[in-house]
Structure 1
Amino acid sequence: MKKTLLAAVSALTIFAVGCSADQEGEAAGSKGDDTLTIAWLPNESGADLEEARDEIGEIIEEKTGKEVEHQTTTDYIIAIESIANGNVDMAFLGAQGYIEANNKNEKVQPLVVPSGESGTLEDAVYYSWLSVNKGEEEEYKNGGEFTIDQIAGKKFSFVSNSSTSGFQVPSTSIVDHFSQTEEYSDLTTEDLLEGGEGKFFSEVLFGGSHQGSAVNLLTGKADVAAFCDTCVENYVELAEGEENKPGALYKVKENASAPFSALSGKEFSIISATPVLNPPFVVNTDNVSEEERQELIEILTSDEIANNEKVFVPEGSEFSGLFSKVSGKERLVEVEDAWFDPIRELSK
């Protein structure tokens, strides 16, 4: 793929962040065998999920005897670089983030992913949404059906170019759709990274997290935004339609926490929903031995985790958790590297 100035700047940013992470690791001192450090993406780093993160950490501490430390982040790159360079031992990443970390260091390997409602890998997916503000839905219809034909020329918000459902999946879908037309026959994902005159989008924003991308939409900074269902489910509720179907209308909950605290009652509609492979917990096997890796798999796939209502939150609960319990069968299930090959194919 052709290189752009933005790609070069991004590479320099990644290098700078990697160096910064190395320096922070040296300043903190090397982690001993008695400590397990877990990195979290920005989506799971908010104060509202602190109790859920701590719950998982406490269970791991109890079973392994190790002290668990949490490293929250404000940037995807930091989490990916931290696990790839061994500054943390474990991380919760999106599928694309895992692939990037694994490409940097093959010692980064997956442990588990949250299952689907079947309790297996068969339906272990969540959804990448393209959404617009309420009242603007009709512009994105053709013959009564929702279409993305009209997103060209709009102000668009992605999450991060290291996000699976907030960039990799939607950008691939956009390119696949528009490259069938004569005007955009040579469109590439790199063409979607910048907006402006002569570009596919008039403006491109990056929210930094799924929550941030949704806020870009709801505050009018973007006309269309990409973000996923699970990352905003603690803040929004279905107002009309069927979940994860084009045309579904969602509303920000009353008393929603930051960054939605000033947006209660705001509504948006989905114009596209694409299933995405669930995100994995991963480890750096330079830091974690095979025995320890197997112990972590056993802990994370246990009934104790699956039945913990601070980890898998039952329907109707007001607790802000990481995962939802809908069928009663949801749990964390072991996964291998090859399971993520469909996401790898999107990058080729």
Structure 2
Amino acid sequence: MKKKLTLLALLVVITVLTTACSMKSAGGNTKADDVIDIVWYPNESGSDMKSSRDEIANVIEEATGKKVEHHLTTDYAIAIETMVNNNADLAFMGAQGYIEAHKSNESIKPLVVPTGPSGTLEDAVYHSWLAVHVDEQDKFKVKGEFSLDTLEGKKMSFVSNSSTSGFKVPAAGILDHFSQQEKYADLTEMELMKGGSLFSKVLFGNSHQGSAVNLLKGNADVAAFCDTCVENYVEIVEGKENTVGSVYQVQNDAAEPFNQVTGKKFTLMSVTPVLNAPFVANVDVLGQEDFDKLQKVLTSDEVANNEEIFVPEDSGKSGLFFKTGKERFATIKDSWFDPIRKLSK
């Protein structure tokens, strides 16, 4: 009997050790391996982004001598938890996603962030939009001007509650506006996620593209999404870029999911600047040596001038990042994201 128990205990130990070694990580002290796993949000997981993902992988492989594996997702939470649980080395995620991930696992650090056209962090922003149907825009105006007051009772589409520009920023603006009214003095972020409080119905597109399509297919009256995540699919047909009242139209040859709504138009009722999204690393998984190597190569002139990564704006090609001026990657500290953190306080 004692021998059987000893053998059983030995088998349990072997099983645990084998399981731990077979996983990308097993806790706080993770040993870097020969594969660098990159997890991508749904917004960047589309087939039209493949060339950009692959070129970034090429740069990483050359710098580290390791193989890169891409992990595409359909849900923000999956991408964030993959990083938090030490099952990926790198991710490209919005400020809010990084904040949530870092709060759960302090080994997750910002690696680089794309700058603005100046080549600095001074204009390293993109834009959060609230958009409405062109033909319905007058329903969202008071005395000829767009007003958040008109959102009451409407069907709303957000991206994900972990999205910076697709939820966190627009929600903060909506709460700030309506909380000044006695009726909505106690309105919470949680209540904005469901119908029956301010909105009659709330949808989540799970990507910026999905939220925009919710609007254009008529499932929502208003939708939150960002400029950079839809710029590969739409073109401005009236007004100036990122300006309230401007009208955008889905291109006739737009890739999925916009191929369902080609030719459809929307107008912007709200435009808010947002801090650019970073690449982040789980240093426990990646290792400090590779972290340093990647910071050096990604912030190099060679990468800044790589047209497969920073695609020339007038090239007509799809890409994750576009070159309109001196855009490049730059290093940032955790404190750079404090303005987004304050939205939750």
Tell me the TM-score normalised to structure 2 length.
0.90
For 1:211 and 1:311, the matched residues in 2 are separated by 21
The residue that corresponds to 1:338 in the other structure is 335
The residue that corresponds to 1:100 in the other structure is 100
For 2:146 and 2:308, the matched residues in 1 are separated by 37
Alpha-carbon offset, residue 30 of structure 1: 3.3
Amino acid at match of 1:248: S
- The 5-angstrom pairing of residues 1-348 of structure 1 reads 29-30=23-24, 33-196=33-196, 199-327=197-325, 329-348=326-345
Higher mean displacement: 330-339 or 178-187: 178-187
| Maintained 8 Å contact 2:132/2:269 | yes
For 2:318 and 2:192, the matched residues in 1 are separated by 33
For 1:326 and 1:175, the matched residues in 2 are separated by 34
Amino acid at match of 2:124: A
User: Residue deviations 1:317-347, cap 9 Å, x none?
Assistant: 12210011112x0011111100000111111
| SS of structure 2 residue aligned to 1:226 | strand
Q: How many residues align?
A: 321
Higher mean displacement: 169-178 or 59-68: 59-68
Tell me the TM-score normalised to structure 1 length.
0.90
- Structure 1's consecutive aligned runs of 4 or more residues displaced over 4 angstroms after TM superposition are 25-29
| Maintained 8 Å contact 2:24/2:86 | no
Higher mean displacement: 76-85 or 213-222: 76-85
| SS of structure 2 residue aligned to 1:287 | helix
| Maintained 8 Å contact 2:24/2:88 | no
Alpha-carbon offset, residue 305 of structure 1: 1.4
| Maintained 8 Å contact 1:94/1:164 | yes
For 1:65 and 1:163, the matched residues in 2 are separated by 33
Alpha-carbon offset, residue 141 of structure 1: 1.8
Amino acid at match of 2:135: G
Higher mean displacement: 312-321 or 68-77: 312-321
Amino acid at match of 1:30: K
Alpha-carbon offset, residue 302 of structure 1: 1.2
Asked which structure has the greater CA Rg, the reply is 2
For 2:22 and 2:148, the matched residues in 1 are separated by 48
Residue identity (%): 60
User: Residue deviations 1:27-47, cap 9 Å, x none?
Assistant: 974376211111110000011
Amino acid at match of 2:228: T
Amino acid at match of 2:161: N
> Gapped runs of 5+ residues in structure 1?
1-24
For 2:24 and 2:117, the matched residues in 1 are separated by 40
Amino acid at match of 1:291: E
For 1:262 and 1:288, the matched residues in 2 are separated by 40
Amino acid at match of 2:239: G
For 2:21 and 2:222, the matched residues in 1 are separated by 42
For 1:60 and 1:148, the matched residues in 2 are separated by 44
Alpha-carbon offset, residue 285 of structure 1: 1.1
| Maintained 8 Å contact 1:133/1:223 | yes
For 2:60 and 2:215, the matched residues in 1 are separated by 38
Structure in which a larger fraction of residues adopt helix: 2
| Maintained 8 Å contact 1:310/1:319 | no
